[in-house]
Structure 1
Amino acid sequence: MSHVVDLDMGRILIDLSDDVIQRLDNLKQLRNQPRAELLREAIEQYLDKQSSTVIREALGLWGNQEEDGLEYERKLREEW
């Protein structure tokens, strides 16, 4: 069930809307896991996604290009 049994943990108090709590309870029943485990999993996924977003953004303007950077450089040098 829990993957974090042997880890040191801190406690955080959060306020959630009634709707979110209900949805969390529905998922709790569906997956047969405690709320705390579901929240830990969700937070870990969120943080992983944020880390990968930072890495993608660090690529700068070239990150959205489909052309190979080395090939682009060769084309530019041919113009000289």
Structure 2
Amino acid sequence: MTLLAKLEMGRIPIDLSDNVIQRLDNLKQLRNQPRAELLREAIEQYLDQQSSSVIRDALGLWGNEQEGGLEYERKLRDEW
């Protein structure tokens, strides 16, 4: 029994351009995998990338600031 047979899955109809379908079919032949599997893999990679970029953006809120958090806090307190 495959892993996919154990998972509950929903269906989402999507419209794709003829060009994208052709490229997907080319990849399907190269990798010998069904279209649905290729699309699932692509969507999972996209979602993983989005999740990690949100975390990366949040952790990099200071950007290229040379000032550290403690220095910034002291500067704010000096304004009081």
The TM tier, using the shorter chain, reads 0.7 to 0.9
TM-score, L = length of structure 2:
0.73
Who is 1:56 aligned against? 56
Aligned positions of 1:1-80 closer than 5 A: 3-62=3-62, 64-65=63-64, 72=68
Q: 1:7 to 1:40 in 2, by over 3 A?
A: same
Q: 1:42 to 1:3 in 2, by over 3 A?
A: farther
How many equivalent pairs are there?
Answer: 70
Distance 1:55 1:73 in 2: 19
Structure 1 segments unaligned to the other structure (5+ residues): none
TM-score, L = length of structure 1:
0.73
**Partner amino acid for 1:24?**
L
Give how far 1:58 is off: 1.0
Identity score, percent: 72
Larger relative contact order, structure 1 or 2 (CA cutoff 8 Å, min sep 6): 1
C-alpha RMSD of matched pairs (Å) = 2.4
